[in-house]
Structure 1
C-alpha cells in the first residue's frame, strides 16, 4: 500500500465543491492506500480528527484575505507531516497559493506530486502577477496535472502547456448522497407545497459574482409562466441579492442546505438554473448533481469551461448565449410550457451523468496513476532535447532522424528560449515552452521526470540540439544495454564536424583540472589534460568511464529512478559529471565507440563572459558537493579507472 498525503483548502464537514471532490477521492482510494489529509480549519484552532477512518489535520486560521485563508504554523505542521508520514504521493488541490509557497519552500523529497487543477486564478490579477512564477515552478516540478475536463485544460493559459503530463479526471457525483429514503417522497411534496405547488426553478451555490445570480433575479420580470425562483446557498453577495429582489413574490432565499435537504430540493424542483458567467466555474459539480437527480438545466455558454461538457445543449438542458438574460428567460419559458420536452431532458440528464460523472465511470485515470504502473515497455526509448535560440531546421532534421528509429517512443523538445517558436509544435514531438531559460539540467528533468512517472520507456536519451547521427545507432546502443543489464549509462563516440575526435571520456576532475585547464598555459596543463581526457586510450575500445558527456547519454530508466535525475543547482556545466557519478553507484557508465555522433561543440564559456561565470559557478557547486581537495571517492574511482584502462 502506498502512502498518500491529500492537501485541500478545507475538508469535510466543511461544504464546498473542491472539498467534496477531495473527500470522494479519499473514499475511493481508501481500500488500496494509507492516507492522510491536511487542510485549513475555518476557526483559529488547530485540530486533528478522524473522518471515515482517515486522519485529518486542520491548521488554525486567523482570517481570510482575498479568498485565501491565513493560517498559523502551516509550514511547520506540513513539514512535520512530511517528515513523519513520508508520503509516496502528494495530491494537492489548487488553487491554493499559501500551500504552493510552503511546499516549494520545504520540498517533498522523492514523493510524486499530483496537482489537481480545479481552476485558474482569474481574479486578483495584481497579486497573481507576483504569485505566477511560483505557480510555474510547481507545475514544472509536478509529476502529473489532473484537469477536471479536457475543454478546460486546452483553454487554460496556465496548464495547456503541460498537457504532456496531464490526465483528465472529471469531478464526480457521490451517488450515495442522492439516495432516497422511504419517507422522502412526503418531504419532497412538503417542499413543493411550501411554494404553493408552483414549479420550482432552483439555484444552489456560493453567492459570488461569477455565479451570475443577478441574472436569475432579472429573469423574474421576463419569465411568463407561473413558477418560483428558489435560491439556496450563501456568500458575500447574499444581502445585495436579497435587496435587488425586494418586491418580488416569486424569488425565495432558503440559505445553506444540508446534503439531505439539497437532495430533497433537487427532487422537488422542475429546472436547475445555472447562470455562471466565466471560467472561474471550471466544471460545475452542482450542475452535475442536479442532472443526476433528473433535473434539466438552463446554463450560459462559457468558452473553455467544463460546464460545456457537463450540460449538453438540447440533451440534458438548454445552453444559451453568455450573459443574455432574454435568451435565458426564453429557455426557461420553453421548458415550463413543454413538459414533454422537459421530461425527455430529465431522463437524458440522469443517464448522461450516470455514464460520465460517477466514480466507477470517471475515475479510471485516477485509479491508474495511483496503482503500481506496469514495468517500462522493453526497448522503448524516450528522448529529450533542450533548446535555446536554436536553428529550427536543424532541430527538425534531428526530430526526423529520431523518428526513423522504430523504438523511439516520445520526443520532448524543452524550449528555454525567450520567445516561443510555434513551428516546433508542428513537429512529431512534445513541445514544452518555458518562456525563460531555466537551465540545461532542469530542462531535461522536465522530460526525464515524465518518463519516470509514465513508465513508458526502458531507456531515456539526453541529447544536445546540435548533433547529428544515423538513426540505426539507437537500436545498436539499446541492444548493447539489453545484453548488459549491469550498464546504466552509455555514450557513443563523438566527432567534430571536421571528423576530429572529441575527447569526452574523462576521469573525475579535481579543482586544478578544471581551473588550470581554463586559466593556466597549455604547456603547464598538457600532461594533466592528456591524463584527464584519457587520451592514452585509443578511443576505440568499450571502457567504463567515470565521466560521460551530456551531449548524448542513453540512460537505463530503472537505474535513473535510483540515482535521481539532474541536480538542478547546476544551471549549466558539470550537471553531466554529477549525474554520471551518481549513476555509477548503481551500474556501469560505459563509453561505446561502436557507434558515433557528430557534435557541433561550441565551447560557449570560452567566448562568452556570462557562460564563463556560469561554468565557474557550477564548478564551485560541484566541489562543494563532492569535495574540493579531499574527495576519497574520486581518488579511488580514478585509480581503478587508470588501472583498468592502462593495462
Structure 2
C-alpha cells in the first residue's frame, strides 16, 4: 500500500554559498526542536564550487537541492525555491541561524489562525544569548541611518521630524522583517509577488516587506528568539573598518539606495546622493582644519575621508540604472 503524503505545512528555504557547516548546524536545531509541523527543506546553491551538497545531503537526504549555476545572490535564489515549494507557508532562513525551541510551529499556528497577519519573525540573539537591540524595524529608522549628520540632539530631532516613524497599537507590529527569518504564506506571495531580483544581497527583504505589508500586518514576536550568528558567505561583501562616516557596507548601501528609489521615488534617491556628494568636501575640509589646528601636515590622516569618497564612487557606478529603475543585478 502506498503511503499517504501529508500536506506540507512549511517550506524552509536556505540559500547556500560555501556554508555547509552552518546549514548543517541550523538544520540540526530545526529538527531537534520542531514538532507538530510537516516541513520540507529546500536549499539553493549559489555556485559554491565545494562539497556543500554532499556534506549536507549525507546527513539530511530528504533535502531538496537546487543549483543556480552562478552566484545569483539572495533574491533570485530564494525565488527559485519559492517556485518549487510545496508548503502553504514559506520560511526564508539564513544559514547562520539556530532555533532554540518550537518557534517554527508557533509561527505556523499564528499564520494559520490569524488571517490578518501577512508575515512573522522573532527577535535575534547572538551566540551569548544577548538580544540585538539595535533593530531597524521601521522604514524611518533605516532611512535616518543613511543620513550622516552631527550626533547632537538638535540635528537628530530635525532628522526625526523630516523622516518620522510609523507607530502601531500592537508592540509586535513593525514595518518590515529581516530576511534572516521571515515566514509568510504562499498565498500572500502569490498576491504580493516574489522578491525583487534586481537586489543581489541586502535591502531585498525591506522592499519585499513593503509589498507583503499591503496584504496584512507584519509581526515581530518580542517574546520569541532565534540565534543569528551574523557571519557566513556575506563576509566578502562587508567592510572591516567602521567609523561614523564609513558605517555603510558598500554592497548593502548600493542595495539600500535601490530600495529608496523603488519605494520612495527618484527624488528621495537623488537627495541621498546629493547628501553624500556634498559631504565629501565638508569632511575633507573639516579634517584639514583639524590638522592645521593641531599643527600637523595639512593632508595627513585623511584615510577615513578617502574611504568615504571611494564608497560614494561605488554608489555612483549604479547611478543611472538606479535613477531609471532599470532591471539589473545590482552587484558590486
Check the 8 A contact 2:47/2:71 in 1, yes or no: yes
1:221-251 CA-to-partner distances (Å, cap 9, x unmatched) read: xxxxxxxxxxxxxxxxxxxxxxxxxxxxxxx
1:399 corresponds, among 13, 27, 43, to 27
1:578 CA displacement: 0.7
Give me the whole-angstrom Cα distance separating, in 1, the residues matched to 2:164 and 2:222: 15
Mapped partners of 1:434, 1:499: distance in 2: 34
Q: How does 1:189-204 map to 2 (within 5 A)?
A: none
Q: CA offsets, 1:564-583, max 9 Å, x none?
A: 11100011111000111001
Note the 1:140-155 alignment, pairs <5 A. Answer: none
Q: CA deviation at 1:607?
A: 2.6
Distance of 1:504 and 1:384 partners within structure 2: 23
Cα displacement string for residues 523-562 of structure 1 (whole angstroms, at most 9, x for unaligned residues): 6786669x9998x99xxx7522111111100111111110
Superposition pairs of residues 77-116 of structure 1, within 5 angstroms: none
CA spacing shift, 1:622–1:505, aligned 2, 3 Å: closer
1:579 to 208, 214, 222: 208
Aligned twin of 1:469: 99
The answer to whether residue 16 in structure 2 is matched with residue 387 in structure 1 is: yes
Corresponding residue number in structure 2 for 1:483? 113
TM-superposed CA distance for 1:630, in Å, is 5.9
Displacement of 1:462? 0.4
Q: CA deviation at 1:510?
A: 7.9
* 1:19-418 correspondence runs (5 A): 377=7, 380-390=9-19, 392-404=20-32, 405-406=34-35, 407-418=37-48
- 1:449, distance to aligned residue in structure 2 (A): 1.5
Q: 1:66-120 CA distances to partner (integer Å, 9 max, x unpaired)?
A: xxxxxxxxxxxxxxxxxxxxxxxxxxxxxxxxxxxxxxxxxxxxxxxxxxxxxxx
Structure 2 distance, partners of 1:561, 1:488, is: 12
Q: CA deviation at 1:470?
A: 2.2
Alignment match, 1:591 = 220
Cα deviation, 1:242-263, whole Å, max 9, x if unaligned, reads xxxxxxxxxxxxxxxxxxxxxx
Gaps of 5+ in 1: 1-375, 632-647
Q: Which residue of 2 aligns with 1:561?
A: 190
Distance 1:626 1:612 in 2: 21
Question: What is the CA–CA distance in structure 2 between the aligned matches of 1:544 and 1:599, rounded to whole Å?
Answer: 21
Cα shift at 1:594: 3.0
CA gap of 1:623–1:401, structure 2 versus 1, over 3 A, is: same
Q: CA separation in 1, counterparts of 2:171 and 2:109?
A: 15
Q: Does 1:457 align with 2:87?
A: yes
Q: CA separation of 1:479/1:430 partners in 2, compared to 1, >3 Å: closer, same or farther?
A: same
Which of these residues, 245, 252, 262, is aligned with residue 615 of structure 1? 252
Structure 1 residues 614, 470: closer, same or farther in 2, change over 3 A?
A: same
Deviation readout 1:4-54 (Å, 9 max, x if unpaired): xxxxxxxxxxxxxxxxxxxxxxxxxxxxxxxxxxxxxxxxxxxxxxxxxxx
Question: Aligned match of 2:56 in 416, 424, 427?
Answer: 424
Q: Give the SS at the match of 1:584.
A: helix
Shift of 1:423: 1.6
- CA–CA separation in structure 2 for the residues paired with 1:438 and 1:580: 20
C-alpha distance in 1 between matches for 2:156 and 2:260: 23
RMSD: 3.3
More strand by share: 1
Aligned to 1:98: none
Whole-Å separation in 2 of the counterparts to 1:548 and 1:394 = 22
The 3-state SS of whatever aligns with 2:146 is helix
TM-score, normalized by length of structure 2? 0.63
More relative contact order in 1 or in 2 (CA 8 Å, sep 6+)? Answer: 2
The separation in 2 between residues aligned to 1:499 and 1:532, in whole angstroms, is: 32
Q: Distance in 1 between matches of 2:126 and 2:140?
A: 23
Q: Secondary structure at the match of 2:135?
A: coil
2:30–2:98 Cα contact (<8 Å) kept: no
Residue 144 of structure 2 corresponds to 513
8 Å CA contact 2:143–2:163 kept in 1: the answer is: no
